[in-house]
Amino acid sequence: MNKRYLGIGAGLAAAAMVLSACTPPGGDGGGDGEGEGGGEGGSSVLNVGWNEAFRSMNTETTNGNAVANAIVTYLMNENFKYYDDNLELQDGNLGTVEQVSEDPLQVKYTFADDATWSDGTPVDAADIVLHWAAKSQKYNTESAEDVAEDRDDEGEVTEQDEGSVFFDSASPGSALIEEFPEISEDGSEVTFTYSRPFADWEIELGLGADGIGLPAHIVAKQALGEEDPAAAKQAVLDAFEGEDSEALSEIANTWNTGFNFTSMPEDEDLLVHTGPYKMTDFAEGQYLTLEADENYTGPTEVGVDQVTYRINGDPMASVQAVENGEMDLIQPQSTSDVLSAAEELEGVTVETEDGATYEHVDLMFDNGGPFDPESYGGDEETAKLVRQAFLKTVPREQIIDTLITPLNPEAQIRNSYTMVAGSPMYDGIVEANGMEEQYPGADVEGAAELLEEAGVDSPTVRFLYDDTNSRREQQFTLIQEQAEEAGFDIVNEGDVNWGSRMGDGTYDASLFGWQSTTTGVTESDANFRTDQQNNFGGFSNEEVDGLYDELQVETDPAQQEEILAEVEAILVEEAFGVTLFQHPELTIYSDRVQNVSSTTVSPTMFWNYWDWQVS
């Protein structure tokens, strides 16, 4: 067994779904003959384990925005840009991105000559226009609040009425592109004009697993019944340029849910892709198989003929599968038992890393609970004192020492809402935001004094978390003990379906994790701006909103850091919540696999799949 401790590494989704294991085609990955790795006349096979099932080809929707989807779409599609394991932005094979004007900001996308969908249709303007328009919210006639009641139990937006348009996505950058873009005659060049400067213009469209998004000609075929690819693409462009609400309503409905599936679809159009791998098999809740596409004509050369990703939410079972030769490469959520079991394996490398996901506690501001000013007749100061008191009780250091350090000796408390330790802006922001001083952890006496100052006796706090996750259960217990000692009454709202309850007002505090998808400075906008997609607690602050307006147009890194430091200082003072730690992650792989690497943004260990080799 080889063991390595790394500082920064792969990230997982915050909570794993418990799914049954199964042995898919490809066998144990170690024998001879067809379907096994390496032998003469055979094909190379890599069996990868993951903790959650794929469910959508569209990673831009609320339902589709998950690492389990991104790792598949990343292998199936080319992109304009991607991150390497040092978080450095690299050029993809789909084409080029360049700033052609600074004032106004204009960004031109030029598609490579060999950029082609797997059905032979060129990748061009219609595809990137659909990608931009869906994220911009420019064409929506319904708001997210309007359709909130129309979501099903899985969070999917149900079909909207004829003429109603709602694309289930949002991006501050795309929203700054208010005009229909300039398109070259052959559709290979598209120039977008921003209404004002935007710091993250280089990664707004065509990044990583999101790539270019869905194939516009297939969307139009499904939505509008247009069979001819060229005519279908033109129909998409005409619908957006002409703001045809009837056509856009159908396009939006297809874009929102038409590419969601949990087993191998009968309609092969849903599997049209731009990259070197194609989906060939998908058994619900068990495994998904990708094979090198013999018709792919792009420049990406892959070293593995078949990648089968097995779905298993039990990390110990995944380690056992590696030992049995049923899995070659896994990235399970780390616990001391999992790490110990992995370290005992022979012929296996174990990498212990800080991941992309960070743990945090957030509070509710608008649900009539103990942290809402309305509970005190609109008294903002009283509510803030109660929030500050509760956050002072969170035993941050104890949580790290008890649960995380045994897994990663280099683990440390995270003291920033927006930056990971080791990133260029982290130290400066931490020095300025005051979190470490305001909420050092387990300050029971200080919390009790704040409750007394607020004149609030034994406030009840309903605490939401995933009670099927043992580490979260332990964190809750530690938090509960300290908070009750300070005078709070803590109600255990542990729920396996915690995710579907986010923002519904039935709880007062929550414990979960966020995973980064980019290094963009504007990424946190969705978490802290008023009414944004990830602002589940109803936090609203005009100064923070204004600072994010400034951040969007600021291109100087020093000024970006200063703005984010101001945002974080407000979040600390207003007691938005408190950060805890980067998730300790494990990458475990058999010695038969070469060139495994990982990065701290989605799609984690899949980022350099073209380098994989199996012996």
Q: At what angle do helices 216-224 and 245-257 cross, to 10 degrees?
A: 110
Pairing verdict, β 489-494 and 509-515: unpaired
Label each residue of 520-559 as H, E or C. CCCCCHHHHCCCCCCCCCCCCCHHHHHHHHHHHHCCCHHH
Percentage of the chain lying above the pLDDT 90 cut: 71
Cite the beta strand spans of 209-344 per DSSP E. 277-283, 287-292, 306-311, 329-330
CA–CA separation, 333 and 513 (whole Å): 12
H helices of 271-331, in order, are 315-323
Residue 60: its pLDDT value, please? 92
The residue type at 88: E
Percentage of the chain lying above the pLDDT 70 cut: 91
- Predicted confidence (pLDDT) per residue in 434-463, tens digit: 999 999 999 999 999 999 999 999 999 999
Q: In a 3-state reduction of DSSP, which class is residue 151?
A: strand
CA–CA separation, 509 and 521 (whole Å): 26
The answer to whether 54 touches 68, Cβ cutoff 8 Å, is yes
CA–CA separation, 288 and 563 (whole Å): 44
Give residue 583's pLDDT band: very low, low, confident or very high (50, 70, 90).
confident
Is it the case that residue 187 has pLDDT exceeding 60? yes
CA–CA separation, 493 and 495 (whole Å): 6
CA dist list (Å): 453 to 113, 302, 377, 458, 552:
68, 64, 17, 13, 39
Taken in order of first residue, the domains within the chain and their CATH numbers are 2-59+66-72+273-355+584-614 (3.40.190.10), 73-257 (3.90.76.10)
Q: Which has more pLDDT, 482 or 64?
A: 482
Residue 145: its pLDDT value, please? 67
Is it the case that residue 279 has pLDDT exceeding 80? yes
Is it the case that residue 21 has pLDDT exceeding 50? no
DSSP state of 76: H
Question: Minimal CA–CA distance to 276: which of 257, 290, 255?
Answer: 290
The answer to whether 88 touches 82, Cβ cutoff 8 Å, is no
Phi, psi at residue 170, to the nearest 5°? -160, 140
Residue 569: its pLDDT value, please? 98
Structure tokens at 466: 């995933």
- Predicted confidence (pLDDT) per residue in 387-402, tens digit: 999 999 999 999 999 9
The radius of gyration computed from the CA coordinates of the chain, to the nearest angstrom, equals 24
Q: Which has more pLDDT, 99 or 13?
A: 99
- Predicted confidence (pLDDT) per residue in 503-539, tens digit: 889 999 999 988 777 878 888 988 999 988 789 999 9
Residue 63: its pLDDT value, please? 82
The answer to whether 146 touches 38, Cβ cutoff 8 Å, is no
Give residue 574's pLDDT band: very low, low, confident or very high (50, 70, 90).
very high
Residue 47: its pLDDT value, please? 97
Is it the case that residue 1 has pLDDT exceeding 50? no
Question: Minimal CA–CA distance to 454: which of 565, 376, 359, 342?
Answer: 376
Q: What contacts 404, CB < 8 A, 6 or more positions away?
A: 411, 581, 584
Q: Pick from 130-139, 168-177, 313-322 the range whose average pLDDT is largest.
A: 130-139
- Predicted confidence (pLDDT) per residue in 27-67, tens digit: 333 333 333 333 334 579 999 999 888 999 999 988 888 88
Q: Which has more pLDDT, 299 or 332?
A: 299
Please compute the mean of the pLDDT values over residues 18-22 and round it to a whole number. 22
Give residue 550's pLDDT band: very low, low, confident or very high (50, 70, 90).
very high
Residue 149: its pLDDT value, please? 63
Please compute the mean of the pLDDT values over residues 97-122 and round it to a whole number. 97
The residue assigned the tokens 């998409």 is: 236
Average pLDDT, the chain: 89
CA–CA separation, 30 and 227 (whole Å): 45
- What residues does 49 pair with on adjacent strands? 310
- What residues does 515 pair with on adjacent strands? 357
The answer to whether 306 touches 291, Cβ cutoff 8 Å, is yes
Residue 41: its pLDDT value, please? 40
CA–CA separation, 76 and 94 (whole Å): 13
- Predicted confidence (pLDDT) per residue in 331-366, tens digit: 987 888 899 999 999 999 999 877 778 999 999 999
The answer to whether 270 touches 64, Cβ cutoff 8 Å, is no
Structure tokens at 272: 């049209």
CA dist list (Å): 607 to 146, 461, 558, 601:
37, 41, 29, 9
CA–CA separation, 239 and 227 (whole Å): 16
298-319 burial, b at 16+ Cβ within 10 Å, e below that, comes to: beeebebbbbbbbbbbbbebbb
Question: Minimal CA–CA distance to 569: which of 439, 443, 435, 440?
Answer: 435
Q: In a 3-state reduction of DSSP, which class is residue 174?
A: helix
- Predicted confidence (pLDDT) per residue in 587-612, tens digit: 999 999 999 999 888 898 999 999 99
Q: What's the burial of 162, exposed, middle or buried (CB within 10 Å: 0-12/13-18/19+)? A: exposed
Please compute the mean of the pLDDT values over residues 66-91 and round it to a whole number. 93
DSSP state of 181: P
- Predicted confidence (pLDDT) per residue in 197-238, tens digit: 898 999 999 999 999 999 999 999 999 999 999 999 999 999
Find the distance separating the first CA and the last CA of the chain, reported in whole Å: 17
CA–CA separation, 416 and 434 (whole Å): 10
